Structure 1
Amino acid sequence: MTKPMVIAVAAVSVGGKTTITKKLKDRLAGAQALFFDSYDFEGAPENITEWVEDGPDYHQWELDPLMEDIQSAQHAPFLILDYPFSYKHERMKPWIDYSVFIDTPLDIAMARRLIRDEDKQGVEEELNHYLNGGRKAYLEMLHSIKPDADLIVDGTLGVEDIVEHIIKNLPSEHH
């Protein structure tokens, strides 16, 4: 059995992680994908804004279910993770071979959030949440996760261009 190349895709909230993960899965033959938001992790903070304000402890998250699923996917050539923490969680770090950060400007992420969540909350409520603490969570990603990435991709590019850039920049033995 060969171990898949595990590619973690990180970005700010609504920065394109899920879209790019799905497209990479489609483009890389035999790839599988796992999505962080599909899990209910023990230790996950109830309030992300407070978690960031308190000094985020990435190890607070019990990621065993995700790590078990990574271990179960050992037959795929590629495993794409929609995973926001890059190399910050020490127990998860050894499972990741290549980390990509989609550098999506905060104004674009906010516009996407407003479009995506328009039925759930009013625009004013979303913007107030962002201004009263949510922005700190976005900045945490830029200051802590982005510098750890093996590849930083311009989040203003189109989806196909982002995917192509990632594929072209994978370590040569994998593409």
Structure 2
Amino acid sequence: MNKKPRVLSFSGVSGGGKTTTIKHLIHQLDHAQALYFDDYEFENCPDICEWVEAGADYNAWVLSPLITDIQLLLKDESLDYIVLDYPFAYLNDAVKDLIDVTFYIDTPLDIAMARRILRNEQEHGMSELQSDLHNYLIRGRAAYLEMEKTVKTNSDVVLQGEWPTVLIVDRIIDELRKRSV
């Protein structure tokens, strides 16, 4: 019997809770594998701010390494789920047909920024805080707003990012049960 894993995609702004949610979800799902967009290096990938300023063509991103890994995992009959930390929902033509369900974690920008500051402070200390905040105000905020305008509206399920992770994961599992009937 050729059983194909279901591909779940999670999008949201940086600091929105995608990675935390996916890590918790993987422990709740049987036979699941996660792939994280930030673990990949894509050739000729655009600068995010310049990309947004130029009109945010989602097909400008050549995502071959990620696509290759998804295709390999789709052949793994021991998997039930492939969970993607992936920012574009259905908007990249090369990836959209590989995805079964897209989730958007809708986190208010102030909460997302606070989480980013706390995360970056743990990783780099406070030295980069001013630079990060300056970049956000000058250029980065447009990328956050682009996500809300296009990716959120192209997602199947919108989750409240200010909810505790356990509630978000419960909502995802409920949604998967509804969709498997």
Q: 1 CA distance for matches of 2:177 and 2:102?
A: 11
Asked if 1:107 corresponds to 2:113, the answer is no
Q: 1 CA distance for matches of 2:137 and 2:179?
A: 44
User: After the TM superposition, which of the residue ranges 66-75 and 131-140 deviates more from structure 2?
Assistant: 66-75
Does the CA contact (< 8 Å) of 1:5 and 1:174 recur in 2?
Answer: no
Q: 1 CA distance for matches of 2:50 and 2:164?
A: 33
Residue 78 of structure 1, aligned match among 78, 81, 91: 81
Partner of 2:138: 132
Partner of 2:159: 153
Asked if 1:55 corresponds to 2:61, the answer is no
CA shift, 1:173, in A, is: 5.2
Residue 97 of structure 1, aligned match among 100, 104, 114: 100
AA in 2 matched with 1:49: C
Structure 2: unaligned runs, 5 residues or longer: none
Give CA-to-partner distance per residue, 1:43-82, whole Å, 9 cap, x none: 311x211111111121111112111111111221111000
Asked if 1:26 corresponds to 2:27, the answer is yes
Q: Percent identity?
A: 45
Partner of 1:43: 44
Give CA-to-partner distance per residue, 1:113-158, whole Å, 9 cap, x none: 1111122643322221111011000000000000011100000000
Does the CA contact (< 8 Å) of 1:7 and 1:81 recur in 2?
Answer: yes
Does the CA contact (< 8 Å) of 1:8 and 1:100 recur in 2?
Answer: yes
Q: 1 CA distance for matches of 2:73 and 2:25?
A: 16
Number of matched pairs: 174
Q: 2 CA distance for matches of 1:135 and 1:110?
A: 10
Q: 1 CA distance for matches of 2:176 and 2:25?
A: 12
Q: 1 CA distance for matches of 2:13 and 2:105?
A: 8
After TM superposition, where is structure 1 displaced by more than 4 Å over at least 4 residues in a row? none
Q: 1 CA distance for matches of 2:9 and 2:151?
A: 11
Q: 1 CA distance for matches of 2:83 and 2:49?
A: 27
Structure 1: unaligned runs, 5 residues or longer: none
Considering only aligned residues, what root-mean-square deviation do their CA atoms show, in Å? 1.4
Q: 1 CA distance for matches of 2:40 and 2:133?
A: 27
CA shift, 1:171, in A, is: 5.3
Alpha carbons of 1:72 and 1:168: their partners in 2 closer, same or farther (altered >3 Å)? same
